[in-house]
A and B are shown apart, each in its own frame.
Chain A
Amino acid sequence: MLTALTTVILAPVVVGFGETLWAAFGILPALGHHNFSMLAWQQLFDLPGFATSLRLSLVSGFVATTIAVMLALVGSAWVYHCPKTTSISSRFKPFLKPLLVPILAAPHAAIAIGLAFLIAPSGWFFRALSPWLTGWELPPNWATVQDLWGLSLIFGLVVKELPFLWLVSLVALKQINVSKQLTLAQSMGYSHITAWYKVIVPQLYPLIRLPVLVVLVYSLSTVDMAQILGPNNPPTLALATMRWYNDTNVHLLLPASAAAVCLGLIIIASLAVWEVAGLLVRHVNSALIRSGKRVAKFNLLASTLSAALPITLMAGLLSLLVLAIWSIAWRWSFPAVLPSSWSFNYWLQLLTHWPLALQHSLIMAFMSSGMGLILAVAWLEVQDRFGGHLYRLTLWFIYLPLLVPQIAFLYGLKVGFLRLGLNGSMATVIWAHLLFVFPYVMLSLIDSWRALDQRYLQVACSLGSSYWRRFWRIKLSLLLRPLLLAWAIGIAVSISQYLPTLMIGAGRVESLTTEAVSLASGADRRLVGVYGLLQALVPMLAYALALFLPKIMTLKNTR
């Protein structure tokens, strides 16, 4: 059975990737290219600005991921740190998750557009100060967005990815006896933050390692955020690839495919570099731990990060707020702090449009994330019972859709599906969604699954409970939180799929996202506001369910 399931996921991936690979080496019969050649690569390397693009991608990817990880770790430390229960920051704690969820659920492009408006020279921040403080009647010619170093892109990535890593950390921390270990370390004289760094972080990081890698991959390959916040002459490699794919000159498909393969390789190399760096940090840390220093000398870093934390969170929330305002604005010009005229026009217009799109989105999201979750559980369980290095190997293929730019992969996938006579049906689109949902579900689940304390199962076994009973009542119940979170991530991934829905669905399966993205290409912030909020709504409900359902269930069971 599992072989069949593997085929369902694996075959399209291999087919899709194969087509791209051929095209990168000059073979694209549909356009009359039949012979193997390296010309596409030559063309790629000769493109002006290739080196800058590459540098931009690497710098923004690594820096953004590093900052987001550090912030998530500091943020989690703060959650477990409560000197006085009455302090302002402690009072804020119960609201943390509800505040993280909207940023997590909102589409990347929506956050990017909101943030761009927030920090642009003509944006909300400067509007609030103009002209009374700055004296500006016209915005200054400053590069606060799309700066040449990619700083605003990095900021945007951190703003969007921090809530994801933070929530994943908080969920993972439930598996570690945090408070007792901290108490212990503190009783030996370790300060809270040092104890966190030396005791909790080394245990936490392995649990969030894969989500971190996902963030790294995303940061390296993002198109929509780079398009809005990144520099564009030249842009990041991912965006440049996208541009070549969309060029009116269809023969650019060849160097575009080479660029896609190149980006895939760069991503794999980056993952390797990140992992090696992780080992080095671990090595250095062991020495640091052995030294027994009670107050480590990273207080400056820690306080910088603690200061950056609320700013980052605030930026994300304000981006959403500003989009919400835009969605009901009519005219809003510089330097007005609020719109000069308002209109519910777009929301009203939507009433006629969105029920069908919403219905499609929901069906696809529930089907693909449900199937993704079942597949992932089956996969992991079979591995637990029968081992099997083969499956572990095939797992790497499953992650391919995350490593190669979507547009490159989808062309091949489309051809593959067409050859199978599949076109434009909802089922085919769900299948395509599954290819992207499954790896995310797998990634968010796998570490928690492996970290499950096997003794519970042994206890249950010794009490004579059957295999299925152990599986349902012990394993799945204990893993309820990560399972639900993986499911919710699956929902969010499915909802956000634009190109797979459009291309595999042949444009016949309209969803919230196909509507939103095509409209957003017109850059009307009011529309982006409406659709962005609408798009965020479904995953938001899923995340809320995933985070608060276990709590409610525990309360019910323990009363």
Chain B
Amino acid sequence: MSLELQNLSASTPHKVCLFEPVNMVIEKGQIACIMGPSGVGKSTLLNAIGGHLGTGISTGLAITGEVLLNNENITHKAVTQRNIGILFQDPLLFPHLSVGDNLAFGLHASVVGKKQRRAQVEQALEHAQLSGFYHRNPATLSGGQQSRVALMRALLAQPQALLLDEPFSKLDLELRHTMRDFLFTQTQKRNIPVLLVTHDPAEAATVNGPVVVLQPSS
């Protein structure tokens, strides 16, 4: 499994590219990083990879270049068919669902049967050191706990790749550290490519894959 970006950029309706085209290959189990100052278009790049360009967040933008997942060109594939998970700065746990149901929402539909699904969710909670939290309201969880649930929810959907948009920037230093470890363990266990976006050079220094600095287009 690998994620490959070839000359990837986003262009406005007036055919102006937002940033210099990006080229990178992320192998399975690798965590790559894209750096750049705020406002350069990091989130837009993630949206382009995830297939969310032109939807609510970044209306009116079009993708240029290509995205390959496991050697398949998915540049224009429907977002729901891509199997690329995404994590935002905010954990965005659904407030109308309990912690467990948030995970069940993410859990892939191929897992069938009430018992089976419940067991998998409980197991995920255990991995996140949140056993017994199934019926808790997500709002009552601490920031670190919420982030862990969000990550587990994304992973339960069995993505082929994972995108992270400044995932830990709201956590304090120590928590960020634990969370990073947790992320690495979990993604390596699943052996998928991960692309992380940050403005923080310290964050970039921790990854084991390629690091690309996004340049505003001239």
Contacts and interface: CB of A to CB of B under 8 A. Distances in A.
Q: Are A and B bound to each other?
A: yes
Interface of A: 80, 82-85, 177-192, 198-199, 202-203, 286, 289-294
A286 B101 contact: yes
A186 B80 contact: yes
B214 interface: no
B106 interface: yes
Nearest to B98: A286
Contacts of B106: 188, 292
Nearest to A204: B96
Given A286-B101, A292-B117, A203 B94 contact: yes
Contacts of B163: 187
Contacts of B117: 290-292
Nearest to B106: A188
Q: Report which residue of A84, A198, A289 has the largest number of chain B beta carbons within 10 angstroms of its beta carbon.
A: A289
A199 B94 contact: yes
The size bracket of the interface on B is 35 or more
A82 B59 contact: yes
Given A186-B79, A292-B105, A181 B92 contact: yes
Given A179-B55, A290-B104, 8 more contacts: A85-B59, A177-B90, A182-B56, A183-B86, A189-B108, A189-B109, A289-B105, A292-B105
B54 interface: yes
Interface in B184-207: none
A1 B135 CA distance: 43
Contacts of A83: 54-55
Contacts of B108: 189, 292
Interface string B46-62: 01001110111101100
Contact of B50 (A177, A183, A202): A183
B154 interface: yes
Contact of B80 (A80, A189, A293): A189
Contacts of A183: 47, 50, 52, 55-57, 86
Contacts of A202: 94, 96-97
Given A82-B54, A84-B54, A187 B101 contact: no
Nearest to B79: A186
A198 B51 CA distance: 21
B88 interface: yes
22 contacts: A80-B56, A82-B55, A83-B54, A85-B60, A177-B92, A179-B57, A183-B50, A183-B55, A183-B57, A186-B51, A186-B55, A186-B79, A187-B82, A187-B85, A189-B83, A199-B94, A199-B105, A203-B94, A286-B101, A290-B101, A290-B117, A293-B109
A181 to B, nearest CB: 6
Q: What 6 pairs across the A-B complex have the smallest Cβ distances?
A: A179-B56, A188-B157, A202-B96, A290-B104, A187-B86, A292-B109
Contacts of B94: 181, 199, 202-203
Interface in B62-120: 79-86, 88, 90, 92, 94-97, 101, 104-109, 111, 114, 117
A183 B47 CA distance: 9
A187 B96 contact: no
B156 to A, nearest CB: 8
Contacts of B50: 183, 187
Contact of B88 (A180, A185, A186): A180
Contact of A292 (B52, B84, B96, B104): B104
B92 A191 contact: no
A180 B92 contact: yes
Contacts of A186: 51-52, 55, 79-80
B109 A294 contact: yes
B54 A85 contact: yes
B94 to A, nearest CB: 6
B56 A187 contact: no
Contacts of A190: 80
B106 to A, nearest CB: 6
A178 B96 contact: no
Q: Report which residue of A84, A186, A198 has the largest number of chain B beta carbons within 10 angstroms of its beta carbon.
A: A186
Nearest to B86: A187
A80 B47 CA distance: 16
A278 to B, nearest CB: 13
Given A85-B54, A187-B84, A198 B92 contact: no
A187 B56 CA distance: 14
Contacts of B107: 292
A289 B101 contact: yes
Contacts of B105: 185, 188, 198-199, 289-290, 292
A85 B79 CA distance: 16
Nearest to A79: B56
B56 A294 contact: no
Q: Report which residue of B104, B111, B117, B157 has the largest number of chain A beta carbons within 10 angstroms of its beta carbon.
A: B157
Nearest to A185: B105
B139 to A, nearest CB: 11
B71 to A, nearest CB: 21
B86 to A, nearest CB: 4
Contacts of B81: 189
A351 to B, nearest CB: 47
A198 B94 CA distance: 10
Contact of B97 (A82, A182, A189, A289): A289
A184 B88 contact: yes
Interface in B141-165: 153-154, 157, 159, 163
A337 to B, nearest CB: 40
Contacts of A293: 109
Contacts of A185: 105
A71 to B, nearest CB: 21
Contacts of A286: 97, 101
Contact of A289 (B88, B104, B111): B104
A85 B58 CA distance: 11
B14 to A, nearest CB: 14
B99 to A, nearest CB: 13
A556 B43 CA distance: 26
A84 B59 CA distance: 9
A83 B114 CA distance: 34
A203 B117 CA distance: 24
Contact of A188 (B51, B90, B154): B154
Contacts of B153: 188
B146 to A, nearest CB: 14
Contacts of A198: 105
A191 B80 CA distance: 6
Nearest to A285: B96
A293 B104 CA distance: 10
A188 B109 CA distance: 10
A286 B134 CA distance: 14
Nearest to B118: A290
